[in-house]
Amino acid sequence: MITNSDTIVALSTPQGSGAIGVIRLSGPDAIAIANKAFAGKDLEKQASHTLHFGLIKDGESIIDEVVAGLFIAPKSYTKENVVELSCHGSQYIIQEIIRLLIKLGARAAKPGEFTLRAFLNGAFDLSQAEAVADLIASNSQASHDVAMQQMRGGFANELKQLRDELIHFASMIELELDFAEEDVEFANRDQLKQLILKINTVLNKLISSFELGNVLKNGVPVVIAGKPNVGKSTLLNALLNEERAIVSDIAGTTRDTIEDEMNIGGVAFRFIDTAGIRETADIIEAKGVERTLEKMKQARLIIYMVDGNEPIEAIEAQVKGLEGQEVPFVLLVNKVDTLAESTKFALSRFNVHYISAKQNIGIDDLKDILLDTVKFKNLDTNETLVTNIRHVEALKRTEAALSKVLDNLSSQVTSDFIAMDIKQALHYLGEITGEVTTDDLLENIFTKFCIGK
Ligand code: GDP
């Protein structure tokens, strides 16, 4: 059972040594507990949103000099009394202060418990709480923008308005049920139909935004494929500018898939370097090839690489093979530094891009091509994008329930069935924003947060 009647404490800055560590207390006794450890002004007599310098003492022994920030309920992140102690960022000091605060009556916070309390106390809805976690995890401008947009309530506001209109109709239909013998109609069926069509249009737009939202949040999966020794690892290194993949002259050294992430034009790309695709008798290598094909299916984009020095027929055969599959691909001819003009001329019948992974030629153009191919140029991240699988599932269920209402409206089904399906749709919508929740659902969401948030 979720409770929020006690006072919790946790380190809110990262674990490890740093210049400053911030220890956060939240709950009815936050100020009283901090005050017992604090030697300085009487914190219980100070105004909200003030800072106070003092000592943290355990009995007579001084643990640290700190600054205490006061936030008096309900004007805090959690809407409870909150004290933030900024201490010196030593692991020992942090541990000792937290130990002392627990001794004085606080309890160690669980992951996400501060944000859970903020949600339970109505600071924001569930989708906004989830966006807080996304914001903390964001590592590119695009993932930051979509998380920020969701945290500021863009998505939730859109849903709330639809939900309110639907609730209105649901209550009208309920009213009809009360007057069942009199055969009255409070809820205009045509209007209801129009509303549901309108809602389903919005739902469909949101559902289909998930594909984009998801890659923006998690990074665009890109597979670099091609035969051994064409220069895939070298390219990955050139892109990442770090020696992360093993470069070697021996065919097939990149046996496993290595994932790496980088930022291109504000969008995170996840590179999956793979074992070369080729017929092989080597068992380990064969597994690698299988995995490559599997990975290629998961990719949103394939960078397919050939060595410009391969015979033109061999290149042609590979291009033919690629044309069969669904994922868009970019055909890269590597080792342009070693190519004769005549070879380039022969290759010009394919849509190719020349690079030299080793000499860093054409890499910037390649980055542009990547952004172009996944259509992320001029991306409008202010648009509402669904990034959360839980939300998209709930949206789909809402849409299915509303489609059922539409069917029933055209086949003269009695009001009680219509009312039931509308209620079902409202239930699913409510799951997104948290009007409808269970402890299990909340626990599932908030345990994925970090401790101290
Ligand atoms: P992979 O098996 O496809 O990952 O290929 P590697 O990245 O291991 O490269 C195979 C060999 O080709 C290495 O000796 C690289 O130094 C070399 N190589 C890679 N890119 C280029 C390039 O642009 N020009 C030349 N001349 N050699 C390259």
The complex's ipTM? 0.98
> Which residue's CA is minimally distant from atom 26 of ligand 1?
335
Instruction: Pick the more confident residue, 244 or 95.
Output: 95
- The answer to whether the annotation marks 19 as part of a ligand binding site is no
CA–centroid distance, 139 to ligand 1, in Å, is: 30
Whether the predicted pLDDT of 250 surpasses 60: no
- The answer to whether the annotation marks 231 as part of a ligand binding site is yes
Instruction: Report the chain's C-alpha Rg in angstroms.
Output: 29
Parallel, antiparallel, or unpaired: how do β-strands 301-307 and 329-334 relate? parallel
> Which residue's CA is minimally distant from atom 6 of ligand 1?
231
Domain presence at residue 448: no
Domain boundary among 106, 124, 142: 124
Residues 40, 137 within the same domain: no
Residue 291's pLDDT is what? Answer: 65
pLDDT (average), residues 69-86: 97
Q: Is 243 in the pocket of ligand 1 (CB under 6 A)?
A: no
> Which residue's CA is minimally distant from atom 25 of ligand 1?
335
Q: Is 358 in the pocket of ligand 1 (CB under 6 A)?
A: yes
Q: Is 363 in the pocket of ligand 1 (CB under 6 A)?
A: no
Residues 166, 247 within the same domain: yes
Count of C-beta atoms within a 10 Å radius of residue 361: 17
Parallel, antiparallel, or unpaired: how do β-strands 220-226 and 301-307 relate? parallel
Residues 252, 280 within the same domain: yes
Domain count, the chain: 2
Domain boundary among 124, 157, 172: 124
CA–centroid distance, 10 to ligand 1, in Å, is: 50
> Which residue's CA is minimally distant from atom 7 of ligand 1?
231
- The answer to whether the annotation marks 403 as part of a ligand binding site is no
Residues 212, 175 within the same domain: yes
Closest CA to 220 of 373, 102, 334, 363: 373
Residue 422's pLDDT is what? Answer: 93
Residue 273's pLDDT is what? Answer: 59
Residues 115, 136 within the same domain: no
Domain presence at residue 31: yes
Residue 379's pLDDT is what? Answer: 58
Domain presence at residue 344: yes
Which range, 79-83, 160-164, 218-222, 426-430, is most confident? 79-83
Domain presence at residue 446: no
Residues 376, 256 within the same domain: yes
Domain that holds residue 22: 8-124
pLDDT (average), residues 347-356: 88
CATH number at residue 403: 3.40.50.300
Q: Is 360 in the pocket of ligand 1 (CB under 6 A)?
A: no
Residues 166, 283 within the same domain: yes
| φ, ψ dihedrals at 89, nearest 5° | -80, 50
**39 contacts 103 by C-beta, under 8 angstroms:** no
Q: Which residues contact 326 (CB under 8 A, 6 or more apart)?
A: none
CATH number at residue 17: 3.30.1360.120
Q: Which of 229, 243, 246, 278 for mutating ligand 1's site (highest number of atoms within 8 Å of CB)?
A: 229
Total-model pTM? 0.74
For 223-249, the three-class secondary structure string (H helix, E strand, C coil) is EEEECCCCCHHHHHHHHHCCCCCCCCC
> Which residue's CA is minimally distant from atom 9 of ligand 1?
231
- The answer to whether the annotation marks 380 as part of a ligand binding site is no
CA distance 89 to 55: 15
CA distance 26 to 164: 33
Residue with tokens 């409070």: 186
Domain presence at residue 440: no
Whether the predicted pLDDT of 285 surpasses 60: no
367-398 residue pLDDT tens: 888 888 776 655 565 678 898 999 999 999 99
Residues 284, 417 within the same domain: yes
Ligand 1 atom showing the smallest separation from residue 228 Cα: 2
Residues 235, 118 within the same domain: no
Residues 31, 152 within the same domain: no
Residues 132, 246 within the same domain: yes
Whether the predicted pLDDT of 281 surpasses 50: no
Q: Is 230 in the pocket of ligand 1 (CB under 6 A)?
A: yes
- The answer to whether the annotation marks 250 as part of a ligand binding site is yes
Domain presence at residue 49: yes
> Which residue's CA is minimally distant from atom 15 of ligand 1?
231
Band of residue 264 on the pLDDT scale cut at 50, 70, 90: confident
Domain boundary among 103, 124, 145: 124
Average pLDDT, the chain: 86
Domain presence at residue 375: yes
Residues 229, 322 within the same domain: yes
Domain presence at residue 2: no
Q: Is 308 in the pocket of ligand 1 (CB under 6 A)?
A: no
Question: How many Cα atoms are found within 13 Å in the side-chain-facing hemisphere of 69?
Answer: 15
CA–centroid distance, 307 to ligand 1, in Å, is: 9
Instruction: Pick the more confident residue, 123 or 225.
Output: 123
Q: Which of 358, 360, 361, 366 for mutating ligand 1's site (highest number of atoms within 8 Å of CB)?
A: 358
CA–centroid distance, 298 to ligand 1, in Å, is: 25
410-450 residue pLDDT tens: 887 888 888 899 999 999 999 998 988 888 888 888 988 88
**230 contacts 307 by C-beta, under 8 angstroms:** yes
Q: Is 248 in the pocket of ligand 1 (CB under 6 A)?
A: yes
